[in-house]
Structure 1
C-alpha cells in the first residue's frame, strides 16, 4: 500500500485535482523531458565522444612511428621539456634519416642523461617531423573514458540548467498570479463581518 501511495504523491501533477494548474502539468512534462534527455542524451553523448576520442588516438598510433636518431648535443645542456625536475625527457637537437632517405636535423624529445653522439629513439609524424609519442592503449582508453564522462556530464549540466531556468520562469509566473490574486482578494479580508 505504501508503494501505491508514494507513486500517487510522485505523480501528483498528472492526477486530476481542482488545485492543479496548467503550469503544474507543464512543469511535470519539463521535469520528465529534462531527466530523460539528461540520462539518455548524456549517455549517447558520452559514448559518441569516447568512441571518437578512441578513434583519434588509434589514428595517432597508426600515423606516428619511432625511428633511431643520433644526438647532436648532449642532453645535459638541453632545456627540460616539462615544468618539473622529475620529468625524464628533454628537448634536444638530433639527426635522423627520413623515410625518403634524406638526412634531417631538428629538435625532438629524448630521454635525459645521454651524451652527444648517443643513439636514441624519436617519434615522427606522417610528414616525418618530430612529435611526441602517441598515447599507449591503456592511456588512450583512460583518456577516452574521461572525455566521454565529461561530455555526458556537460550535456546533462546544460540540460539541467535549461530545465531549472524554465522552472524558475514558471515560478515567477506563479508569483505574479498570486500577487494579482492577493491584490484582488486581500482587501476583502480586512473588513469585519457583522
Structure 2
C-alpha cells in the first residue's frame, strides 16, 4: 500500500476555521508578537551591550597608564616543579599620581632580582591594574558580549511563550469542559 506524504498547511494559525476559538486567535497573535519581540530584543540588547562594552574598553585604554616600578624582593627562581615559565608574585614600589610612593604585589618572570625596574599598569587613582586589552581583543570581547546579550534576550522573551501557552490551554480546557456540560444537558445527561 502506498503511503501518502503528509501535507503541511502553511499559515494554519491564520486560516479561517469554524472550529477556531477566540483563544486560538489570541495564541496566533501571541506567537507572532513573541517572535517579533525576540528579534527586536536580540538586536537591541546585542547592539547596546556591544557598544557599552566597546566604550568601557576604550575608557580603560585611555585611563590606564604605564609607570615604572621597582621590585622590592627577589622573585622565586625557576624550579623543576613549576610548569613552563609561569610568572610569580613579588612586591613592587612605584610613585602614584599624587607623588607619594605606593607598594603592592604584581607578577614577574621567575628569577627577577630585587631592584629591577619593570613597567606596571595603573588606574587613574594610581592603583595597580591589568594591562588594557588591545583594540582587536577589545573588539572581539565587545562582539562576544553583544552576542551573549542577544542570546539571553531571545531566551527571556521566548521563555515567556510556555507561560502564555499554559494560560491559554487552561482557558481552552475550561471552555471545552463547559461545552461538554452543555452537550450533556442536551443529550439527556448520558455523556458524564
Q: CA deviation at 1:178?
A: 1.6
Q: CA deviation at 1:55?
A: 0.5
For residues 137 and 46 of structure 1, the distance between their equivalents in structure 2, rounded to whole angstroms, comes to 19
Please name the residue that 2:104 is paired with.
107
What is the SS of the residue equivalent to 2:115? coil
Please name the residue that 2:143 is paired with.
145
Q: CA deviation at 1:88?
A: 3.2
CA spacing shift, 1:31–1:22, aligned 2, 3 Å: same
What is the SS of the residue equivalent to 1:128? coil
Q: CA RMSD in A?
A: 2.5
For residues 142 and 85 of structure 2, the distance between their equivalents in structure 1, rounded to whole angstroms, comes to 24
For residues 144 and 123 of structure 1, the distance between their equivalents in structure 2, rounded to whole angstroms, comes to 22
Please name the residue that 1:42 is paired with.
42
Q: Which runs of 5+ in 1 are unaligned?
A: 78-83
What is the SS of the residue equivalent to 2:147? helix
More helix, by proportion: 1
Q: CA deviation at 1:27?
A: 0.6
Aligned positions, number: 178
CA spacing shift, 1:63–1:151, aligned 2, 3 Å: same
TM-score, normalised to structure 1, is: 0.80
- Aligned pair partner of 1:134 in 122, 128, 132: 132
TM-score, normalised to structure 2, is: 0.81
